[in-house]
Chains A and B, each alone.
Chain A
Amino acid sequence: MRIFQRIGFAFLLLIPLMGWAAEVLSVRLIGGEAGFSAQVQARIETLIRQVEPDVNFVESFPSASRRLLIAIGAKGWRTIEGAPVDLPILAVLPPRLPYDLVATTSNRPMSAVYGDMPPGRFFNFVQLLSPKKGSTVALIAGPSLLPRVSRFESFAAERNMHLHVEKIERESDVGPAVERGVQHASLMLALPDPVAHTAATVPPLLLITYRAGVPVVAYSEAYLRAGAVAALYATPEQIAQQVLEIVSAYKQGKPLPPAQTLKYFTVGLNTSVARSLGLTLPPAEELETRLRQMKE
Chain B
Amino acid sequence: MDLPDLRKKIARFAAFSVTGLGGLVLPAWCHAEDAAEEFGELPVVLSASRLRQPLVEAPSAVTVIDRQMIEASGARQIADLMRYVPGAVVGYNDGNRPVVALQGLSGTYASGVQVLVDGVSVYTPLWGGMQWEELPLSLDDLERIEVIRGPNAAVFGPNSFAGVINIITRYPTANSDWKLTANAGSRGVADLSLSRSSSLENGTNYRVTFGQRASDGFDTRPDTQRQYFGNFRSEYQVDSKDSLHFALYAADNKKDNGDYGSTGSSQVPHPNYSNKLDVQVRWTSAISSEEEWWIQYYHQQSRTTDDVNVNYRDSRFWTKYFTALAALVPNPLPYAIDSGYETQRDGVEYQHTFRFNEAVRAVYGAETRRDLATSKTYLGSEPQSAILTRAYGNFEWNFHKDWTLHLASMVEKNSLADTGVSSKLAFTWQPIDGHVFRLGVSTALRTPSIYEKRANISYPIPASIVPFIPASVVPAIGGSPNEIRVWTRGRANNEKLSVEEIGYSVNFPEWNVVGEARWAWSHYKDLMGVDGNGDFYNKDKAEVESGDLTVKWTPNEATMIRIALNKTNISSSTDPATYNQSAPKDTVSLLWDQRVSYNWRLSANYQRVGEMHWTDAGNTSFNPANPIIPAIDYLTLRLGRRLNLTGFSESELAVVVQNALGNHRDYWAGVAANGQKETIAPRISFLQFVGQF
Q: Are B46 and A75 in contact (CB under 8 A)?
A: no
Q: Are A227 and B46 in contact (CB under 8 A)?
A: yes
- With A and B bound together, what is the CA distance between A72 and B56 in angstroms? 47
Q: Are B35 and A199 in contact (CB under 8 A)?
A: no
Q: Hey, which chain B residues are within 8 Å of A225, CB to CB?
A: 42, 44, 240, 288-289
Could you tell me the distance in whole angstroms from the C-beta of A142 to the nearest C-beta in chain B?
11
- With A and B bound together, what is the CA distance between A77 and B30 in angstroms? 20
Question: Which residues of chain A from 4 to 54 have a CB within 8 Å of any chain B CB?
Answer: 31-32, 34-37, 40
Q: Does B127 sit at the interface, judged by CB under 8 A?
A: no
Q: Hey, which chain B residues are within 8 Å of A211, CB to CB?
A: 66, 143-144
Q: List 6 A-B pairs, minimum CB-CB distance, nearest first.
A: A73-B36, A227-B46, A199-B30, A36-B40, A204-B174, A175-B174
With A171-B199, A225-B288, A227-B289 known as contacts, the answer to whether A207 contacts B143 (CB < 8 A) is: yes
Q: Can you add 9 more A-B contacts, CB < 8 Å, to A35-B34, A175-B173, A198-B38?
A: A35-B41, A37-B40, A115-B35, A198-B32, A200-B173, A200-B199, A204-B172, A227-B46, A273-B51
Q: Are B52 and A199 in contact (CB under 8 A)?
A: no
Q: Are A176 and B692 in contact (CB under 8 A)?
A: yes
Question: Which residues of chain B from 538 to 559 have a CB within 8 Å of any chain A CB?
Answer: 557
Q: Hey, which chain B residues are within 8 Å of A40, CB to CB?
A: 36
Question: Which residues of chain B from 169 to 184 have a CB within 8 Å of any chain A CB?
Answer: 170-177
- With A and B bound together, what is the CA distance between A109 and B171 in angstroms? 46
Q: Are B38 and A220 in contact (CB under 8 A)?
A: yes
With A93-B36, A173-B649, A179-B67 known as contacts, the answer to whether A206 contacts B45 (CB < 8 A) is: yes
Q: Does B7 sit at the interface, judged by CB under 8 A?
A: no
Residue from the list A94, A170, A193, A220 in contact with B39, Cβ < 8 A: A220
Q: Are B44 and A227 in contact (CB under 8 A)?
A: yes
Q: Does A84 sit at the interface, judged by CB under 8 A?
A: no
With A172-B197, A208-B174 known as contacts, the answer to whether A277 contacts B37 (CB < 8 A) is: no
Question: Which residues of chain B from 9 to 45 have a CB within 8 Å of any chain A CB?
Answer: 30-45
Q: Are A197 and B173 in contact (CB under 8 A)?
A: no
Q: Does A192 sit at the interface, judged by CB under 8 A?
A: yes
- With A and B bound together, what is the CA distance between A206 and B35 in angstroms? 20
- With A and B bound together, what is the CA distance between A173 and B176 in angstroms? 6
- With A and B bound together, what is the CA distance between A9 and B675 in angstroms? 125
Q: Are B177 and A192 in contact (CB under 8 A)?
A: no
Q: Does A223 sit at the interface, judged by CB under 8 A?
A: yes
Q: Does B578 sit at the interface, judged by CB under 8 A?
A: no
Residue from the list B30, B289, B507 in contact with A272, Cβ < 8 A: B289
Interface string of A72-106 (1 = CB under 8 A from B): 11110100000000000000111110000000000
Q: Does B54 sit at the interface, judged by CB under 8 A?
A: yes
Determine the residue in chain A with the shortest Cβ distance to B48.
Answer: A272
- With A and B bound together, what is the CA distance between A49 and B198 in angstroms? 45
Could you tell me the distance in whole angstroms from the C-beta of B418 to the nearest C-beta in chain A?
38
Q: Are B42 and A175 in contact (CB under 8 A)?
A: no
- With A and B bound together, what is the CA distance between A270 and B42 in angstroms? 15
A–B Cβ pairs within 8 angstroms, 28 of them = A37-B36, A73-B35, A94-B35, A115-B35, A170-B177, A172-B177, A173-B176, A175-B175, A176-B649, A194-B35, A198-B38, A199-B30, A199-B237, A200-B199, A201-B173, A203-B235, A206-B46, A207-B46, A207-B171, A208-B143, A208-B174, A220-B42, A222-B39, A222-B240, A223-B42, A273-B289, A276-B51, A278-B54
- With A and B bound together, what is the CA distance between A175 and B41 in angstroms? 20
Chain B: interface size category: 35 or more
Determine the residue in chain B with the shortest Cβ distance to A96.
Answer: B35
- With A and B bound together, what is the CA distance between A198 and B46 in angstroms? 16
- With A and B bound together, what is the CA distance between A275 and B38 in angstroms? 26
Q: Hey, which chain A residues are within 8 Å of B54, CB to CB?
A: 275-278
Q: Are B173 and A172 in contact (CB under 8 A)?
A: yes
Residue from the list B37, B203, B557, B649 in contact with A36, Cβ < 8 A: B37
With A115-B35, A115-B39, A199-B32 known as contacts, the answer to whether A276 contacts B175 (CB < 8 A) is: no
Q: Are B36 and A35 in contact (CB under 8 A)?
A: yes
Q: Does A202 sit at the interface, judged by CB under 8 A?
A: yes
Could you tell me the distance in whole angstroms from the C-beta of B432 to the nearest C-beta in chain A?
13
Q: Hey, which chain A residues are within 8 Å of B144, CB to CB?
A: 211
Determine the residue in chain A with the shortest Cβ distance to B30.
Answer: A199
Residue from the list B176, B288, B290, B557 in contact with A176, Cβ < 8 A: B176
Q: Are B34 and A203 in contact (CB under 8 A)?
A: no
Determine the residue in chain A with the shortest Cβ distance to B436.
Answer: A278
Q: Hey, which chain A residues are within 8 Å of B46, CB to CB?
A: 206-207, 210, 226-227, 270, 272-273, 276
Q: Does A183 sit at the interface, judged by CB under 8 A?
A: yes
- With A and B bound together, what is the CA distance between A1 and B42 in angstroms? 72
Determine the residue in chain B with the shortest Cβ distance to A169.
Answer: B649
Could you tell me the distance in whole angstroms from the C-beta of B574 to the nearest C-beta in chain A?
43
Q: Does B50 sit at the interface, judged by CB under 8 A?
A: yes
| Most chain B Cβ neighbours within 10 Å, of A34, A40, A178, A207 | A207
Q: Hey, which chain B residues are within 8 Å of A194, CB to CB?
A: 32, 35, 38
Q: Which residues of A contact B (CB under 8 A)?
A: 31-32, 34-37, 40, 72-75, 77, 92-96, 115, 170-176, 178-179, 183-184, 192-194, 197-204, 206-208, 210-212, 219-223, 225-227, 233, 270, 272-273, 275-278
Q: Are A202 and B42 in contact (CB under 8 A)?
A: yes
Q: Does B205 sit at the interface, judged by CB under 8 A?
A: yes
Q: Does B533 sit at the interface, judged by CB under 8 A?
A: no
| Most chain B Cβ neighbours within 10 Å, of A72, A183, A199, A276 | A199
With A172-B173, A222-B40, A225-B289 known as contacts, the answer to whether A73 contacts B34 (CB < 8 A) is: yes
Determine the residue in chain B with the shortest Cβ distance to A97.
Answer: B35
- With A and B bound together, what is the CA distance between A272 and B650 in angstroms? 35
Q: Hey, which chain A residues are within 8 Å of B203, CB to CB?
A: 199-200
Q: Hey, which chain B residues are within 8 Å of A227, CB to CB?
A: 44-46, 289
Q: Hey, which chain B residues are within 8 Å of A208, CB to CB?
A: 143, 171, 174
- With A and B bound together, what is the CA distance between A193 and B39 in angstroms? 10
Q: Hey, which chain A residues are within 8 Å of B51, CB to CB?
A: 272-273, 276
Could you tell me the distance in whole angstroms from the C-beta of A2 to the nearest C-beta in chain B?
60
Q: Hey, which chain B residues are within 8 Å of A220, CB to CB?
A: 38-40, 42
With A176-B649, A200-B173, A204-B174 known as contacts, the answer to whether A192 contacts B38 (CB < 8 A) is: yes
Q: Does B472 sit at the interface, judged by CB under 8 A?
A: no
Could you tell me the distance in whole angstroms from the C-beta of A213 to the nearest C-beta in chain B?
8
Residue from the list B42, B44, B175 in contact with A199, Cβ < 8 A: B42
Q: Hey, which chain A residues are within 8 Å of B174, CB to CB?
A: 175, 178-179, 204, 207-208
Q: Are B143 and A36 in contact (CB under 8 A)?
A: no
Q: Are B34 and A172 in contact (CB under 8 A)?
A: no
Interface string of B156-199 (1 = CB under 8 A from A): 00000000000000111111110000000000000000000111
Q: Hey, which chain A residues are within 8 Å of B175, CB to CB?
A: 172, 175-176
Q: Does B53 sit at the interface, judged by CB under 8 A?
A: yes
- With A and B bound together, what is the CA distance between A278 and B428 in angstroms? 14
Q: Are B50 and A207 in contact (CB under 8 A)?
A: yes
- With A and B bound together, what is the CA distance between A138 and B66 in angstroms? 20
With A171-B173, A225-B44, A227-B45 known as contacts, the answer to whether A203 contacts B205 (CB < 8 A) is: yes
Residue from the list B38, B53, B66 in contact with A197, Cβ < 8 A: B38
| Most chain A Cβ neighbours within 10 Å, of B144, B235, B289, B557 | B289
Determine the residue in chain B with the shortest Cβ distance to A235.
Answer: B39
Q: Are A278 and B56 in contact (CB under 8 A)?
A: yes
- With A and B bound together, what is the CA distance between A72 and B40 in angstroms? 13
Q: Hey, which chain B residues are within 8 Å of A278, CB to CB?
A: 54, 56-57, 507
Q: Are A75 and B34 in contact (CB under 8 A)?
A: yes
Could you tell me the distance in whole angstroms from the C-beta of A232 to the nearest C-beta in chain B?
12
With A176-B176, A207-B171, A272-B290 known as contacts, the answer to whether A222 contacts B42 (CB < 8 A) is: yes
Could you tell me the distance in whole angstroms from the C-beta of B297 to the nearest C-beta in chain A?
22
With A36-B37, A36-B39, A278-B56 known as contacts, the answer to whether A203 contacts B288 (CB < 8 A) is: no
Q: Are A222 and B35 in contact (CB under 8 A)?
A: no
Q: Hey, which chain B residues are within 8 Å of A171, CB to CB?
A: 173, 199
Could you tell me the distance in whole angstroms from the C-beta of B54 to the nearest C-beta in chain A?
4
Could you tell me the distance in whole angstroms from the C-beta of B554 to the nearest C-beta in chain A?
9
Could you tell me the distance in whole angstroms from the C-beta of B244 to the nearest C-beta in chain A?
14
- With A and B bound together, what is the CA distance between A145 and B620 in angstroms? 68
- With A and B bound together, what is the CA distance between A183 and B68 in angstroms? 9
- With A and B bound together, what is the CA distance between A143 and B53 in angstroms? 37
